[in-house]
């Protein structure tokens, strides 16, 4: 491999460099495949995600069909693998369907915040000066609120509903992502190779895309992935308070709330939705840790 020494600057270069270009991501992938914890977590998350997507085909019952006779059936009841809830609806079905809203309200805000916060952070770091000051001082204000409090306050003022929950969560994730992106961009901007790129005919946009984005994306992605587990806990917390989805929609946080009245009758059923939040959040957390180690990113 003599080509590895060649500086692979332009990522759209001829396919002769395929082996060299796959070097970094190839090694990341190799390291990930030797990390059993990350693989197990990824499999669990995939199962939950696929189950949620294909819920109408997988779920054994109708998620909204109530039955007064079969209320709070214990786990293992015939036909109801995980029992039934306080209105006699099948728990397994509702947990599968609940993944739809719960995962959406957990992932959508992080993704939106990644785009918005990442862009703002790169602009602040790359342009610097007054623009930097305005953007960063504004994020400082949002740092003055404990994140759960801000999410509750905003969705409380906006009123319930999935979109309002997503909006309020997005708002609390933009500042921290923006801060990480700004820090890394500022570091990269002052490096020699950016100065060298400026000396070439490369335009600002090209420098941003190739040199800045190429270096900033990794750390920011890792950081954002670590926020997903926070997001799932806060998002479910909002529905737990009654600020997320409205009944009879299935959602883990909301199920946890409505089953809370039944803890004396069916304690195991009442605890089940929380297990889903816990397992999913934990898997995202461990996956993010594994990815961070594999990509060798320090934050």
Partner 1 sequence: MLIYILRRLLYVIPIALGVTVVCFSLVYIGPGDPLSSILPEDAPQEVIDRIKAEYGLDKPLPVQYAVWLGKALIGDFGTSIVTGRPVLVELGPSLVNSLILAIGGAMLGFIVGVVLGGLAGYYHGRPADRMFTALAITGVSVPHYWLAIVLVIIFSVELAVLPSLGMTASGSTEFTFSAENFQHLVLPVIALSVIPAGIVTRTVRGAVAELLNMEFVEALRSKGLSEAKVIKHVTKNAAPQVLAVMGLQLGYLLGGSILIETVFAWPGTGLLLNNAIFSRDIPVLQGTILALALIFVALNLTVDIVQATLDPRIKR
Under the rule (CB under 8 A), what is the footprint of partner 1?
Answer: 137-138, 140-142, 144-149, 152-154, 156-159, 229, 233, 236-237, 240-243, 256, 260, 263-264, 267, 270-271, 273-275, 277-278, 281-282, 285-286, 289
Residue 227 CB neighbours (<10 A): 23
CA-based nearest residue to 102, from 156, 49, 174: 49
Is the CB of 121 or the CB of 237 nearer to partner 1? Answer: 237
In whole angstroms, the minimum distance from the beta carbon of 61 to partner 1 comes to 24
Considering the complex, state which of residue 64 and residue 278 has its C-beta at the smaller distance from partner 1: 278
Q: How far is the CB of 151 from partner 1 (least distance, A)?
A: 10
Q: Shortest approach of partner 1 to residue 142 CB, angstroms?
A: 8
- Going by the DSSP 8-state scheme, the letter that residue 246 receives in this structure is P
3-class DSSP state for residue 65?
Answer: coil
Give the C-alpha separation, 271 to 255, whole Å. 10
Q: Shortest Cβ distance from residue 237 to partner 1 (Å)?
A: 5
Contact call for residues 110 and 254 (beta carbons, < 8 A) = no
Nearer to partner 1, 180 or 277 (CB): 277
Contact 124, 223 (CB under 8 A): no
Task: Report how far apart the first and last C-alpha atoms of the chain are (Å, whole number).
Answer: 32
Give CA–CA dist 232/252, Å, rounded: 10
Shortest approach of partner 1 to residue 23 CB, angstroms?
29
Nearer to partner 1, 19 or 268 (CB): 268
In the complex with partner 1, the residue whose CB is nearer, 197 or 233, is 233
């Amino acid at each position: 491999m003599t080509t590895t020494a060649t500086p692979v600057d332009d990522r759209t270069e001829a396919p002769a460099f395929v082996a060299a270009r796959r070097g970094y991501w190839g090694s990341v992938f190799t390291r990930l495949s030797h990390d059993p914890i990350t693989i197990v977590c990824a499999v669990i998350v995939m199962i939950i995600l696929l189950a949620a997507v294909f819920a109408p085909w997988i779920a054994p019952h109708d998620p909204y069909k109530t039955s007064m006779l079969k209320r709070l059936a214990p786990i293992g009841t015939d036909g109801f693998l995980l029992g039934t809830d306080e209105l006699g609806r099948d728990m397994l079905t509702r947990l599968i369907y609940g993944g739809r809203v719960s995962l959406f309200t957990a992932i959508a805000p992080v993704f939106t915040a990644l785009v918005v916060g990442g862009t703002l952070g790169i602009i602040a770091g790359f342009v610097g000066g007054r623009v930097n000051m305005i953007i960063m001082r504004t994020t400082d204000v949002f740092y003055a609120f404990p994140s759960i409090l801000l999410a509750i306050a905003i969705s409380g003022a906006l009123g319930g509903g999935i979109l309002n929950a997503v909006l309020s969560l997005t708002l609390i994730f933009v500042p921290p992502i923006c801060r990480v992106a700004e820090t890394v961009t500022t570091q990269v901007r002052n490096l020699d190779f950016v100065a060298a790129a400026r000396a070439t005919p490369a335009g600002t946009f090209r420098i941003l895309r190739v040199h800045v984005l190429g270096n900033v994306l990794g750390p920011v992605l890792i950081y954002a992935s670590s926020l997903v587990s926070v997001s799932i806990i806060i998002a479910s917390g909002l529905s737990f308070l009654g600020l997320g989805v409205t009944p009879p929609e299935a959602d883990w946080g909301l199920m946890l709330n409505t089953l809370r009245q039944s803890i004396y009758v069916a304690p195991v059923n009442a605890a089940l939705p929380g297990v889903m939040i816990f397992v999913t959040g934990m898997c995202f957390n461990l996956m993010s840790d594994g990815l961070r180690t594999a990509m060798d990113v320090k934050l």
